[in-house]
């Protein structure tokens, strides 16, 4: 909780103003004529406080009380000195005396608020700040924080909405509001508030967005759609309206309008990338069941070319890979690798997809090129050897596989596969000795794995 920022003011006469309040001109009829004896003691107290001799200042002020016991300036100064000494009980009592003598003296109430603030007694501070609000409306910001600290969330929410409407939103108030609305019991009143705000300010986009979000969170999809349509009508250029409408178009199997909404949202700088990723995932699932929209999916991916957080084409390739849709997986892995050739993980997934799809001519060529780009990566030698075996070029396959086997370290599964392919290569070459050598080695490794 942060208090209202205020400046210091010292005026001579009725009161010496506390150091943490806004300067204001006091009316002339509040000035008290002070006799010479009192004046000397008062000056002495001011001087001693200025050099932090609070005890001596208090002694002078107590003497002043014997001369003018009904003068509130004495009690106010006593409050300031006790507060400086962190004697909070005595400080509060003296400020309170001033407030009783002069109920409309703002500075006395500020003094009591200072004590409550420093002692973290927020419950006691609330009625004091409610009084301060009658002097200066800015104290409503403090009151909001006090309601939050004392968990009076209904009052806080009412005040936040009032301040938002009157002065515009602030980051702090929006954070408070988000905290309150995590509790569903406050959401109903907030929905009514947002509907009211939309009526009053139909061109304020943020109210629609907040209400759409709340309806979506509570599974009120029809109401969310209704608000999204209102937003689109009032603000046709709103990108946020399209975020909500996109989902409804998909649910209605309306791919054409979903694509239109998606192509508005994805280039938008207003929409968070996480929302765009979610939309793309939803469209990907939709496209799987509606293949005619694949060109639109390809176009959508292009919006994410510079996305450093998520490699979209790669993730879509993995999606199809997991579904054993090898042709689609190959398509998107190749798309990703155009600008990410050094992504070994994706290269290996692509090699396996080629294998599963029996594209051995493409696999042989690409894997062989990768052995040049990654000369110590044994997996690429394996795929190059496997593909060359399938193409019946056994001599070349044996050469590639024997070169790659030297790089296999602590990977028994890969070593087994190398030996099997070498056995196949020498079987094709008619070299039974080497064929048996490699097949035997493969069997030994398989038995070892089973132990």
Domain endpoint, select from 236, 255, 278: 236
In a domain, 188, yes or no: yes
pLDDT on residue 451: 65
Would you say residue 332 lies in a domain? Answer: no
Question: Which residues form the domain of 388?
Answer: 359-451
- Are 109 and 219 contained in the same domain? no
Nearest residue to 175 (alpha-carbon basis) of 352, 1, 338, 393: 1
> Taking phi first (over 0 means left), then psi (-120 to 50 degrees means alpha), and beta for anything else, what does residue 31 get?
beta
Same domain, residue pair 62 and 171? no
**Are 238 and 205 within 8 A, CB to CB?**
yes
Q: How many CB atoms lie within 10 A of CB 217?
A: 12
Residue 136 in any domain: the answer is no
Q: Residue 373's pLDDT is what?
A: 92
Q: Of 362, 361, 351, 339, whose CA–CA distance to 417 is shortest?
A: 351
pTM beyond 0.75: the answer is no
Note whether 418 and 386 are within 8 A (CB): no
- Residue 328 counted as domain residue: no
Burial string for 52-75 (b: 16+ CB within 10 Å, else e) reads eebebbbebbebbeeebeebbbbb
**Cβ neighbours of residue 288 closer than 8 Å, sequence gap 6 or more:** 323
The reply to whether 168 falls in a domain is: yes
* Pure H helices in 290-411: 294-302, 312-322, 326-337, 344-356, 360-373, 378-390, 394-405
Cβ-contact 163, 172 below 8 angstroms: no
Residue 439 forms part of a structural domain: yes
Question: 5 and 101: one domain?
Answer: yes
Residues 156 and 80 in one domain: no
Q: Does residue 10 lie in a domain region?
A: yes
Residues 99 and 10 in one domain: yes
Looking at residue 89, what DSSP letter applies? H
> Nearest to residue 259, comparing CAs of 237, 238, 242, 273?
242
Please check whether residue 333 is in contact with residue 350, taking contact to mean a CB–CB distance below 8 angstroms: yes
List, as one string, the DSSP characters of 69-85.
Answer: TT-HHHHHHHHHHHHHT
The reported pLDDT for the residue numbered 251 is 87
| 241 neighbors 235 (Cβ within 8 angstroms) | yes
The answer for 13, left when phi > 0, alpha when psi is -120 to 50, beta otherwise, is left
Quickly count: other Cβ atoms within 10 Å of residue 149's Cβ: 15
Contact between 271 and 265 (Cβ < 8 Å): yes
**Separation of alpha carbons 317 and 10, rounded Å:** 73
**pLDDT tens digits in sequence order for the chain, 451 residues long:** 545 533 232 332 333 333 333 333 333 334 444 455 888 888 888 888 888 888 988 998 888 888 888 889 999 999 999 999 999 999 999 999 999 999 999 999 999 999 999 999 999 999 999 999 999 999 999 999 999 999 899 899 989 989 988 888 888 998 888 888 877 787 778 888 888 889 988 998 888 888 887 887 777 777 887 888 888 888 888 888 888 788 889 988 999 999 999 999 999 888 878 888 888 989 999 998 899 999 999 898 888 877 777 788 999 999 999 999 999 999 999 999 998 899 999 999 999 999 999 999 999 999 999 999 999 999 999 999 999 999 999 999 999 999 999 899 888 999 999 999 999 999 999 999 999 999 999 999 888 877 6
Q: Is 433 left (phi over 0), alpha (psi -120 to 50) or beta?
A: alpha
Residue carrying structure tokens 């009380």: 65
Q: Spell out the alpha helix ranges (H) of 17-151.
A: 36-50, 54-67, 72-84, 88-101, 106-118, 122-135, 139-149
Residue 230 forms part of a structural domain: yes
Residues 109 and 160 in one domain: no
Instruction: Indicate if 108 and 45 belong to the same structural domain.
Output: yes
Structural domain count of the chain: 3
Domain end, chosen from 236, 260, 293, is at 236
Say which CATH number the domain at 111 has: 1.25.40.10
Q: How far apart are the C-alpha atoms of 289 and 87, rounded to whole Å?
A: 74
The answer to whether the CB of 397 falls within 8 A of the CB of 389 is yes
Q: Which of 172, 169, 226, 167 lies closest to 195 in space, CA to CA?
A: 226
User: Does residue 29 share a domain with residue 115?
Assistant: yes
End of a domain among 181, 202, 236?
Answer: 236
């Amino acid at each position: 909780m942060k208090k209202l920022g205020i400046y210091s003011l010292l005026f001579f006469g009725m009161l010496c103003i506390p150091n943490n309040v806004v300067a204001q001109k006091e009316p002339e009829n509040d000035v008290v004529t002070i006799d010479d004896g009192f004046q000397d003691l008062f000056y002495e107290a001011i001087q001693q406080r200025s050099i932090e001799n609070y005890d001596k200042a208090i002694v002078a002020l107590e003497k002043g009380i014997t001369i003018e016991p009904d003068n509130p300036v004495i009690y106010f100064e006593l409050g300031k000195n006790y507060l400086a000494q962190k004697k909070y009980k005595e400080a509060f009592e003296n400020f309170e005396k001033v407030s009783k003598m002069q109920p409309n003296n703002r500075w006395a109430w500020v003094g009591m608020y200072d004590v409550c603030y420093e002692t973290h007694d927020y419950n006691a501070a609330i009625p004091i700040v409610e009084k301060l609000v009658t002097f200066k409306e800015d104290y409503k910001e403090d009151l909001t924080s006090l309601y939050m600290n004392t968990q009076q969330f209904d009052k806080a929410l009412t005040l936040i909405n009032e301040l938002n409407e009157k002065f515009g939103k602030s980051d702090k108030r929006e954070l408070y509001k988000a905290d309150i609305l995590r509790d569903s019991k406050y959401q109903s009143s907030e929905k009514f508030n947002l509907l009211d705000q939309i009526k009053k300010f139909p061109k304020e986009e943020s109210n629609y967005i907040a209400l759409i979000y709340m309806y979506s969170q509570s599974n009120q999809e029809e109401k969310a759609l209704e608000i999204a349509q209102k937003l689109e009508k009032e603000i046709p250029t709103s990108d946020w309206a399209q975020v909500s409408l996109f989902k409804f178009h998909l649910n209605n199997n309306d791919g054409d309008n979903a694509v239109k909404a998606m192509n508005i949202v994805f280039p938008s700088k207003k929409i968070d990338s996480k929302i765009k990723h979610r939309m793309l995932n939803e469209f990907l699932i939709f496209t799987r069941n509606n293949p005619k929209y694949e060109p639109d999916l390809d176009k959508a991916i292009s919006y994410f070319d510079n996305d450093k957080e998520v490699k979209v084409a790669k993730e879509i390739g993995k999606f199809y890979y997991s579904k054993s849709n090898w042709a689609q997986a190959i398509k998107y892995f190749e798309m990703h690798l155009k600008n990410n050739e050094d992504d070994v993980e994706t290269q290996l997934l692509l090699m396996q997809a080629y294998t599963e799809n029996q594209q051995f001519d493409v696999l042989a060529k690409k894997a062989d090129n990768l052995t040049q780009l990654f000369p110590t990566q044994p997996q690429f030698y394996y795929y190059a050897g496997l593909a060359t075996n399938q193409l019946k070029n056994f001599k070349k396959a044996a050469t590639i596989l024997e070169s790659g086997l030297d790089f296999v370290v602590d990977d028994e599964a890969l070593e087994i596969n190398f030996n099997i392919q070498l056995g196949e290569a020498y079987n094709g070459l008619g070299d039974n000795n080497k064929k048996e050598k490699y097949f035997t080695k493969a069997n030994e490794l398989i038995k070892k794995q089973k132990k």
